[in-house]
Structure 1
Amino acid sequence: FEKYLDGTDVGLTAGGEDIDAIGIAADGRPVVSTLGGFFVGVSGDGKDFIALDSPVLGDPTSGTWATYFDGSDVELTDGTEDLDALWIAANGDLYLSASGSFTVTGASGDEATIFICTPITLGDSTSCTYSVFWNGSANGLSGANIDGLSIEP
């Protein structure tokens, strides 16, 4: 094993800035969400994703952060809707899971649900359409928290 990304090298140093979800964008940039609020040249919270631009990965890590997904733009505003799992498909769809119950247009569920954001725009003005991909509660995993995922095409 070797270190892929050291968040502390690129400003993620406060307690709420611990990485709790990571994915890889189609262009190769790492995309992360944090446990809570972050302030790294851009700011947001656990409902948002930031991408590391011009990354030098490993130890040490360098680059600058840019907003990748603004959850408040796409109805993720409740405290239970913090995003703690991410998979970015080759077509750009974001497969997501929240830390608790969530309700957005086109999808609702709990921490055992994987839902898809099909992006219309990403970045500071995020927009997407939502759908449910998999409901763990309906498949015998009621109460389970999906906090990491990888989708095989």
Structure 2
Amino acid sequence: MSKFIALILVLAFFATITFSLKCYKCDPDSSGKCKTLDNDDEFPCENQIKPSPQVDDWSCYSIYFESKSNNRRSGIYRGCRTKRKDSSNVCDTLKIEERKGEGGTVVSCKECKEDLCNVGSPDGAASLTLSITTFFIAVVCFYFSNF
């Protein structure tokens, strides 16, 4: 029985290595304006570019961008990005690139590393709501467990 469990663990380990991170990829010009997502918006990151030696790993991102030019639209952008070993996170890199770029501001940004995790509001409001809800459920459960 222990050999069977060991085999399952080894297979699970290799399955996580061989499959690429998958993120939602869309922008304000796509259908749904990147506010509603479907299977067509799913994108395997390794299809984008191959990582270079300076790259640590892949991350999904979701940003809200306010454009100050006609070259790019304001709105939500989602996708995947390589994270450089010498940078703190993808959001910092995107903000630096926009300062050098075509005129606009990354108003809010969310980075994550699980499959299809770049859904929801890029400002973190959804995760704050979830945290508050979880806290109140924990308080109620603790209160009733003392009876």
Q: TM-score under structure 2 normalisation?
A: 0.30
User: Greater helix percent: which structure?
Assistant: 2
Q: TM-score under structure 1 normalisation?
A: 0.29
User: Greater strand percent: which structure?
Assistant: 1
Asked which structure has the greater CA Rg, the reply is 2
